[in-house]
């Protein structure tokens, strides 16, 4: 299994440019034998997107850009690309309620392969210290009630975790319990 890290220098709010950089980096890695490409946290929209997340049109554009990236990489058989992006369930992102009937925004990562978005994982541990202000914009992935994202490639099972998860046991333990061999 050859893994590539796509360090793309994303620009906040530049969905077209960031998408192009992600796809180009994934294609280059694939041409050099990579099976798995990892992109930055929120690489699709740039970090930190802050108040852009409050715009419904921006969130819809992020969802479309993610689907477009998946389609653009359809001709790379056997390639898995983990893309960081904002996500919401439903038409609005409202952090004032934990109700499942009220859509919320999440800091997420999705696995792209074969022209499809195979799955989504929502960040559970949100930093809120020093330069980080994620709780202002995102709900914890615990509220999404999604199982860990585990995918298989090259005879291994991979679990997806996002940034702050490296400092906490629970996300890795949950991924392992779901069958992940590698995080």
Q: Write out the catalytic residue numbers.
A: 41, 123, 163
Backbone angles phi, psi at 23, to 5 degrees: -65, -45
Record the tokens describing residue 176, joined without a space.
Answer: 């392992």
Contact call for residues 158 and 180 (beta carbons, < 8 A): yes
Q: How far apart are CA 105 and CA 122, in angstroms?
A: 9
Backbone angles phi, psi at 20, to 5 degrees: -60, -45
Record the tokens describing residue 78, joined without a space.
Answer: 């056997």
Q: How far apart are CA 98 and CA 84, in angstroms?
A: 23
């Amino acid at each position: 299994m050859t893994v590539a890290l796509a360090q793309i220098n994303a620009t906040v709010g530049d969905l077209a440019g960031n998408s192009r950089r992600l796809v180009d980096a994934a294609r280059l890695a694939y041409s050099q034998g990579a099976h798995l490409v990892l992109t930055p946290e929120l690489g699709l929209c740039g970090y930190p997107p802050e108040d852009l997340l409050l715009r419904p049109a921006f969130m819809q554009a992020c969802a479309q850009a993610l689907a477009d990236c998946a389609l653009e990489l359809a001709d790379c058989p056997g390639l898995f690309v983990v893309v960081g992006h904002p996500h919401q369930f439903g038409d609005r992102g409202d952090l004032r309620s934990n109700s499942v009937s009220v859509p919320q925004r999440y800091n997420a990562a999705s696995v792209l392969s074969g022209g499809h978005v195979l799955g989504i994982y929502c960040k559970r541990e949100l930093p809120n210290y020093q330069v980080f202000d994620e709780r202002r914009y995102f709900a914890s992935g615990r509220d999404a009630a999604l199982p860990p994202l585990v995918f298989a490639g090259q005879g291994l099972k991979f679990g997806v975790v996002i940034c702050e998860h490296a400092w906490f046991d629970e996300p890795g333990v949950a991924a392992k319990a779901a069958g992940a061999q590698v995080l």
